């Protein structure tokens, strides 16, 4: 009876532990889901959504800085998402910044090289205006920590309308100037002045056309600037160490032989030098004998 009671108590303890672990796992998963949802909500907003049946024309831009777990992998994921939704990358600058580099000699011929560095990437992308919110939500999946997010929507409807009116006025003026040029009886100076005015009118009209095309392109494709970075990374590798100069010196026996050879070469040089002076030596000996001979007399 006592054994049955102990077995039942043990079973209750195991069930309680399993329930506690499952509850902790659920709480952990719930916290992770909340973090992902919070990041996605913080990055995306109604400012990135294209209004339906709106007459306004908006130029939307976004500027986002955030930390990721791996810059290289996140870069590939973002580039794939951008291409998937009809966008394209206009600029990317992936680089590693070395903060510290330490070399530690661990043996006579090996060195441990420790490098502390961080990886970052600045990306500029263009995405269809209707897909801006979708692309930003895809980018939010890569975020580990959000530094800031700025979304702008500039209404350029009136600017486009003003340019259109300016183009119409310019076209009317061009026709009037062309008729004046074609009229007979005009002096050459008046024709030249009219031609210059017409050219100026056409140049101004072309500028308005190009400006409208540029704004329409910015309306159709939003520009998003991303700044990605990750935590500092440490990389260690063993490389071949540099040997000391003494390591390459020959042994004592070779040094003795080299010294004898060097001394012999020096002696040969001295003998050759003396042989080159034989006329002076001969004159010196002759003068010495003559001196001895005549000094006795």
Which residues lie below 8 Å from residue 90, measured CB to CB, with a gap of 6+? Answer: 124, 125, 126
Q: Number of structural domains, the chain?
A: 2
Residue 295 lies in a domain: no
> Given pLDDT bands bounded at 50, 70 and 90, which one contains residue 257?
confident
Residue 273 lies in a domain: no
- What is the predicted pLDDT for the residue at 167? 67
Residue 160 shares a structural domain with residue 58: yes
**What is the C-alpha to C-alpha distance for residues 208 and 160, in angstroms, rounded to an integer?**
9
Pick 226 or 207 by higher pLDDT: 226
Residue 87 shares a structural domain with residue 198: yes
- What is the predicted pLDDT for the residue at 188? 54
Q: What is the mean pLDDT of residues 128-157?
A: 89
Number of H helices, E strands in the chain: 7, 6
Would you say residue 13 has pLDDT above 90? no
Residue 31 shares a structural domain with residue 56: no
Residue 70 shares a structural domain with residue 177: yes
In the chain, pLDDT over 90 holds for what percent of residues? 24
Pick 144 or 26 by higher pLDDT: 144
Residue 218 lies in a domain: yes
- What is the predicted pLDDT for the residue at 33? 47
Residue 20 shares a structural domain with residue 121: no
- What is the predicted pLDDT for the residue at 194? 57
Residue 53 shares a structural domain with residue 168: yes
Q: What is the mean pLDDT of residues 133-139?
A: 90
Pick 194 or 234 by higher pLDDT: 234
> Given pLDDT bands bounded at 50, 70 and 90, which one contains residue 32?
very low
Pick 280 or 117 by higher pLDDT: 117
- What is the predicted pLDDT for the residue at 123? 95
Residue 87 lies in a domain: yes
**What is the C-alpha to C-alpha distance for residues 241 and 40, in angstroms, rounded to an integer?**
49
Average pLDDT, the chain: 76
Q: What is the mean pLDDT of residues 41-56?
A: 61
Q: What is the mean pLDDT of residues 89-106?
A: 89
Residue 97 shares a structural domain with residue 203: yes
**What is the C-alpha to C-alpha distance for residues 172 and 167, in angstroms, rounded to an integer?**
9
Residue 52 shares a structural domain with residue 32: no
Q: What is the mean pLDDT of residues 233-244?
A: 79
Residue 244 shares a structural domain with residue 130: yes
Residue 62 shares a structural domain with residue 120: yes
Contact 212, 170 (CB under 8 A): no
Would you say residue 42 has pLDDT above 50? yes
Residue 67 shares a structural domain with residue 38: no
Range name among 45-49, 156-160, 185-189, 205-209 with the lowest pLDDT average: 185-189
Determine the structural domain holding residue 20 and report its residue range. Answer: 1-43
Which residues lie below 8 Å from residue 109, measured CB to CB, with a gap of 6+? Answer: 240, 241, 243
Contact 68, 39 (CB under 8 A): no
Residue 254 lies in a domain: yes
Pick 192 or 86 by higher pLDDT: 86
Q: Is the pTM of this model over 0.85?
A: no
Residue 226 lies in a domain: yes
- What is the predicted pLDDT for the residue at 214? 81
Instruction: Give 158-194 pLDDT, tens digit per residue.
Output: 776 777 766 676 666 666 656 655 665 455 555 556 5
Residue 289 lies in a domain: no
Range name among 11-25, 97-111, 168-182, 229-243 with the lowest pLDDT average: 11-25
């Amino acid at each position: 009876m006592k054994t049955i009671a102990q077995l039942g108590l043990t079973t209750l303890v195991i069930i309680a532990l399993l329930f506690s672990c499952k509850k902790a796992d659920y709480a952990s998963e719930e916290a992770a889901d909340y973090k992902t949802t919070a990041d996605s909500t913080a990055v995306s907003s109604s400012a990135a959504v294209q209004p339906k049946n709106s007459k306004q024309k908006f130029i939307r831009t976004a500027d986002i800085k955030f930390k990721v777990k791996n810059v290289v992998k996140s870069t590939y994921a973002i580039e794939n998402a951008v291409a998937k939704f009809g966008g394209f990358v206009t600029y990317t600058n992936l680089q590693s910044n070395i903060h510290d580099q330490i070399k530690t000699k661990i043996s006579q011929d090996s060195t441990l090289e420790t490098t502390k560095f961080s990886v970052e990437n600045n990306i500029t992308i263009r995405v269809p205006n209707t897909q801006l919110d979708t692309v930003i939500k895809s980018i939010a999946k890569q975020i580990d920590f959000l530094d800031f997010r700025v979304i702008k929507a500039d209404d350029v409807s009136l600017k486009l309308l003003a340019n259109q009116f300016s183009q119409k006025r310019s076209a009317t003026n061009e026709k009037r100037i062309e008729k004046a040029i074609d009229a007979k009886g005009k002096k050459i100076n008046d024709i030249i002045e009219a031609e210059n005015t017409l050219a100026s009118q056409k140049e101004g009209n072309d500028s308005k056309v190009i400006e409208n095309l540029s704004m329409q392109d910015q309306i159709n494709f939003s520009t998003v600037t991303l700044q990605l970075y990750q935590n500092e990374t440490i990389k260690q590798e063993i490389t071949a160490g540099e040997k000391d100069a003494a390591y390459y010196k020959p042994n004592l026996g070779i040094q003795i032989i080299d010294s004898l050879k060097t001394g012999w070469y020096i002696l040969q040089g001295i003998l050759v030098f003396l042989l080159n002076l034989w006329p002076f030596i001969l004159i010196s000996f002759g003068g010495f004998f003559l001196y001895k001979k005549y000094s006795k007399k």
